[in-house]
């Protein structure tokens, strides 16, 4: 048996709330607009047809036990599927990368299939499933290793996964197609999605105070409510951009000393644009979807937009 810490997301939401509170005391929060994007007379040269990659558990290669199923049929696409069918009500799944970074997820006890990324690229991964015994003590249910050779290094950041979930029927995907219609390039599309999300979603202070440890974003609910925490902002933008064939990482780490979530995108001929940076034709500027939605002092924004202040710990 091994002790598991409580899910770090509650801690990171509270830490983020405390850090961002200073920003609001300095400058307050921006409002949102209920207007939908008007792209009827603007059509760029970029193909804005959505492409939603759909994970599947083909059972070509399945590992596990009677209660645990680990489908590794699509390791070359950058993901695996897992489900639990046993009696335990609390189940954890851990993935340890070749660089010894440990990702800890909640695995539902209802048998539903979940998708997890191989975020660290090619190499050996350790996958373990653990069931709760008492408090933070968990017993090993199943462990295995898996060698991954990706067909394309960007695939883990194009497919949906447990943290960035969407399907072809997700409303955010249809919205993304509309929003990026004026774009001529991928960089234009990133800026358009960024502008839309940061002008239509405001930070949800109440949710940040009460978020449950097993919380997962629902991108359509974020759109419907017009509110969200940093996890919601990042997941929404990542889903919209991935559906537009733009590799996008949801990253969790530190902005200064604050535990936080943001995204990075890959632009052809540019590379990975880290920390969500926006290009206005001349200069790059902060594009963190949470902070950009608030009226923050230039001094603080400069501090956080400094690449040295962003330190990613986990990629999804």
For the four alpha carbons of 209, 214, 217 and 218, in that order, the dihedral sign comes to: negative
Cβ-contact 246, 237 below 8 angstroms: no
| For residue 12, pLDDT beyond 50 | no
Give the model's confidence band at 268: pLDDT under 50 very low, under 70 low, under 90 confident, else very high.
confident
What kind of fold does domain 2-48+162-315 have according to CATH?
A: C8orf32 fold (3.10.620)
Which of 244, 282, 281 is CA-nearest to residue 266? Answer: 244
Cβ-contact 313, 158 below 8 angstroms: no
Task: Identify the pLDDT of residue 35.
Answer: 57
Residue-wise pLDDT for 221-231, tens only, equals 999 999 998 88
| For residue 18, pLDDT beyond 90 | no
Task: Identify the pLDDT of residue 202.
Answer: 87
Which of 42, 57, 61, 10 is CA-nearest to residue 210? Answer: 10
Strand partners, 265: 248, 273
| For residue 245, pLDDT beyond 70 | yes
| For residue 15, pLDDT beyond 90 | no
Residue-wise pLDDT for 277-293, tens only, equals 433 333 334 454 454 55
Task: Identify the pLDDT of residue 278.
Answer: 38
| For residue 302, pLDDT beyond 90 | no
Give the model's confidence band at 137: pLDDT under 50 very low, under 70 low, under 90 confident, else very high.
very high
Distance CA 223, CA 217 (A): 11
C-alpha distance across the termini of the chain, in Å:
27
Across the range 69-82, mean pLDDT stands at 98
Could you tell me the maximum CA-CA distance found in the chain, to the nearest angstrom?
62
Give the CATH class of 62-151.
mainly beta
Q: Percent of the chain beyond pLDDT 70?
A: 75
Domain ranges of the chain: 2-48+162-315, 62-151
Distance CA 105, CA 86 (A): 17
Task: Identify the pLDDT of residue 91.
Answer: 97
User: For the whole model, what pTM was predicted?
Assistant: 0.81
Distance CA 14, CA 258 (A): 10
Task: Identify the pLDDT of residue 114.
Answer: 98
Task: Identify the pLDDT of residue 290.
Answer: 52
Task: Identify the pLDDT of residue 158.
Answer: 98
Task: Tell me which of 227 and 7 has the higher pLDDT.
Answer: 227
SS3 readout for 143-211: EEEEEECCCCCCHHHCCCCCCCCCCCCCHHHHHHHHHCCCCCCHHHHHHHHHHHHHHHCEECHHHHHHC
Pairing mode, if any, of strands 310-315 and 79-84? unpaired
Across the range 42-65, mean pLDDT stands at 95
Which residues have CB under 8 Å from 16's CB, separation 6+? 208, 229, 230, 258, 259, 260, 290
Distance CA 271, CA 279 (A): 13
Residue 46 is encoded by which pair of tokens? Answer: 């970029």
Distance CA 127, CA 98 (A): 12
């Amino acid at each position: 048996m091994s002790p598991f810490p409580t899910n770090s997301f509650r801690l990171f939401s509270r830490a983020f709330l405390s850090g961002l509170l200073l920003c609001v005391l300095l400058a307050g929060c921006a409002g949102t607009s209920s207007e939908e994007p008007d792209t009827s007379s603007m059509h760029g040269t970029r193909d804005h047809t959505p492409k939603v990659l759909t994970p599947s558990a083909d059972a070509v290669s399945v590992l596990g036990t009677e209660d645990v199923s680990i489908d590794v049929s699509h390791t070359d696409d950058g993901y695996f599927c897992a489900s639990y069918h046993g009696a335990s009500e609390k189940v954890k799944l851990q993935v340890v990368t070749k660089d010894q970074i440990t990702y800890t997820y909640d695995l539902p006890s209802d048998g539903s299939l979940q998708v997890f990324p191989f975020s660290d690229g090619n190499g050996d991964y350790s996958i373990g499933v653990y069931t709760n015994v008492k408090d933070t003590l968990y017993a090993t249910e199943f462990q295995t290793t898996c060698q991954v050779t990706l067909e394309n290094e960007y695939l883990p950041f194009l497919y949906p996964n447990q943290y960035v979930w969407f399907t072809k029927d997700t409303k955010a995907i249809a919205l993304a197609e509309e929003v990026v219609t004026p774009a001529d390039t991928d960089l234009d599309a990133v800026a358009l999605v960024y502008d839309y999300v940061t002008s239509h979603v405001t930070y949800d202070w109440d949710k940040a105070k009460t978020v449950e440890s097993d919380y997962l974003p629902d991108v359509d609910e974020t759109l419907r409510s017009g509110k969200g925490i940093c996890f919601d902002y990042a997941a929404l933008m990542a889903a919209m951009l991935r559906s537009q064939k733009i590799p996008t990482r949801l990253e969790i780490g530190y902005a200064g000393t604050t535990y936080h979530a943001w995204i990075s995108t890959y632009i052809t001929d540019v590379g990975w644009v880290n920390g969500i940076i926006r290009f206005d034709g001349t200069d790059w500027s902060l594009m963190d979807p949470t902070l950009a939605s608030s009226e923050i002092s230039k001094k603080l924004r400069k501090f956080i937009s400094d690449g040295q202040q962003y330190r990613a710990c986990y990629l999804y």
